[in-house]
Amino acid sequence: MDAEIDRNVFRDLSYGPYIITSRDEGRMNAQIVNTIIQVTSEPPRIAVIINKKTIHMNSL
């Protein structure tokens, strides 16, 4: 994790939508979520809740 993360970003978190992406063994994945919440400020962490029904592996 980057030790120089700008914690001011947490203040700017608002209602989405957000696009969350990932890659596993070369396969891309993306979901649209509307809520991201701050969990802790030290260490800086956020939580993203993803519904498995919104996974679109074949779309990318």
Domains of the chain, residue spans? 8-51
Tokens 């608002």 locate to 14
Using CA of residue 6, residue 12, residue 15, residue 19, what is the dihedral sign?
Answer: negative
Is residue 56 within 8 A of residue 32, CB to CB? The reply is no
Question: pTM, whole model, 2 decimals?
Answer: 0.55
The pLDDT tens digits for 7-59 are 777 777 777 788 888 888 888 888 888 888 888 878 888 888 877 776 665 55
- The predicted structure's pLDDT at residue 3: 55
